[in-house]
Amino acid sequence: MADSAKNNTEVKPKSSTHGAVAETPMPLLYIKDFQKLPHWDFEDVYNQDAPPRPTTCAQSLRNSQDEKFKEAFLPNIRLFLHKDNINMSEWNRLSHFNSPFGFMEFKYNDVMAAVKLIPKPKEPLLLPKPGSNGCVRCAVVGNAGILNGSKKGVEIDGHDYVFRMNGAITKGYEEDVGSKTSVYMHTTHSMTASLYLFKKYGYKSAPHDEGIKYVMIPEGMRDFQWLEGLLKGQKISSGPYRNKVPRTFYSGQYNESRFYVLHHDFLRYMRNRFLKSHNLNRAIWAKFRPTNGAITLFLALHTCDTVDAYGFMTDDYTKYSNYYFERGVHSKVTFYINHDLILEKNTWKDFHNKKIMKLYQRTEPKTKMENPKQH
């Protein structure tokens, strides 16, 4: 059941995921019919894959003793969407949730044209490196200005794996942000828009290190149109990116066995259990979603044993420019209506304080005080 925000009465779900498997798509639900996030009785129920990756890492965040985190964290939450884990019953369940948390307002045939092409991953996203004592040590690098002049590049590249997202420029900034990219997170929009938004800073293409793994965040219909073209190796046939050839955007590193699509349950779980913004109770509820940086960080928290986050918002964010590649200027952090950056900032700080992950926070050097005994 869900709260119908228009009349405050209970409305029944259009389908059930229990009992007989549904044979036809449920009638479309529309965002405009809800003035705040609808809450279904299966809202906090998620697909899980068993068993989770075993770890022998003593320092693993999975061993956290923080009660609140342990209660919320699902180590075997289903991370990836593919053709073998969706059927009509699943479609109908996910159609109760707005994008990118589900398929609300989307037509079955439009989305499934792409989903039926997504292969089941042949291996986990990450595996322990030889000689690592079983620990998977990761760095997640955001694009915040706090990294400008940080000289953290060598430290970042020293991790087993490095996650980046969006306009991840490294050339010319290696001293501060490193050069290695193991996992690159993107939406269709972030991959294409970065080419012109960040061109003046030297951005030429998405990271394409040899053997890199790409993870798609399915935030809207345009992503499924992109996926269909990408997986078929063809031009996109419809939508805002019509006639573009997706495979040309990966600089020769696209490989079906190293390409993953996030599952909507993972995104919804992340929002519901860790980033439940007050904006979800407002008329703009459907616009809100966590940032690509937040999604990347949570994927790392579910695939790594230790996570060090660099280039994410901290309490003193006003001291720094919006992006680390903005040199010689001090642009203010941009707050968009579809993200709750303050909630994310406070979450990273909380995780850091509870030793769930390590957040890079810039500290100003203290000025030396003159010894009053010396003259």
Tens of pLDDT, residues 195-234? 999 999 999 999 999 999 999 999 999 999 999 999 999 9
Question: Residue range 8-27: average pLDDT?
Answer: 55
Does 275 reside within a domain? yes
Which of 265, 270, 316 is closest to 292 using CA atoms?
Answer: 270
Number of domains in the chain: 1
Of 231-245, 312-326, 341-355, which gets the smallest average pLDDT? 312-326
Q: Which two tokens stand for residue 213?
A: 């793994």
Does 22 reside within a domain? no
Residue 365 has a pLDDT of 47
Amino acid at 65: Q
Does 129 reside within a domain? no
Does 232 reside within a domain? yes
Strands 183-186 and 213-216: parallel
Amino acid at 177: V
- Between CA 343 and CA 217 the distance in angstroms is 20
Assess contact for 270 and 217: CB atoms under 8 A.
no
Helix axes 108-115, 221-232, angle to 10 degrees: 40
CATH of residue 225: 3.90.1480.20
Does 21 reside within a domain? no
Helix, strand, or coil (residue 309): strand
Domain that holds residue 332: 2-16+30-46+56-123+135-359
Which residues 6+ apart lie within 8 Å of 25 measured at CB?
A: 88, 91, 92, 95, 107, 108
Is residue 243 scored above 50 in pLDDT?
yes
Does 320 reside within a domain? yes
Residue 373 has a pLDDT of 40
Helix, strand, or coil (residue 307): strand
pLDDT tens per residue, range 325-355:
888 777 777 777 888 999 999 999 999 999 9
Q: Which two tokens stand for residue 375?
A: 């003259």
Does 366 reside within a domain? no
